[in-house]
Amino acid sequence: MVVGDGRLTLAEAAGSYDLIVLDAFSSDSVPVHLLTREALAMYAAKLAPGGAIIFNISNRYMALEAVVAASASANGMTTLFAADSRAKAEFSQTLASSARVAVSARRPEDLGAIAKAGNWRHVAPDARTWTDDYSNILDPMLRMFAPR
């Protein structure tokens, strides 16, 4: 387990990982530096063969799956996405909240059983890739509220 700024701390960590979980979305602000092409390149370098990266991209105002998919694709990776909004109706009773999750891996077969699960869908990298020098939060905001 690596605790701290995910990108800085993981870059200094030794070894490789079967699973990297990025759960840095504790508010509606977006840690842009964790979703760039360069960040995904570093995560991929730390990933063991057959490993995967899971992103909790839950956000009230932005649909970030295309951002993750574009950065992953720029690094030769594939991305799946799932959203669970069942908790919205039950929150007052269960205190569970909805979640939006993306998972990226080098090869589709590295995604294992979730690739076959009905609630996961492939994400096309149809957004401009965010880099350490470029990000566009307007696009994910518009995607969140666009008719589907």
Does 1 reside within a domain? no
Does 126 reside within a domain? yes
Tokens 């960590």 belong to 13
- Residue 139 and residue 111: Cα distance in Å, rounded? 27
Does 135 reside within a domain? yes
Helix axes 37-46, 65-73, angle to 10 degrees: 70
pTM of the model: 0.86
Does 31 reside within a domain? yes
Measure CA 135 to chain center. Answer: 15
Do the bridges between strand 99-105 and strand 47-56 make them parallel or antiparallel, or are there none, so unpaired?
Answer: antiparallel
Total domains in the fold of the chain: 1
CATH number at residue 26: 3.40.50
Predicted confidence at residue 27, as pLDDT, reads: 63
Does 84 reside within a domain? yes
Predicted confidence at residue 26, as pLDDT, reads: 60
DSSP E strands, 1-148: 17-22, 47-56, 78-84, 99-105, 121-122
Predicted confidence at residue 55, as pLDDT, reads: 93
What confidence tier does 8 reach under pLDDT thresholds 50, 70, 90?
confident
pLDDT digits (tens, 9 = 90+) for 16-34: 999 999 887 666 677 888 8
Does 147 reside within a domain? no
Q: Which domain holds residue 56?
A: 6-141
Do the bridges between strand 47-56 and strand 78-84 make them parallel or antiparallel, or are there none, so unpaired?
Answer: unpaired
Does 59 reside within a domain? yes
Does 44 reside within a domain? yes
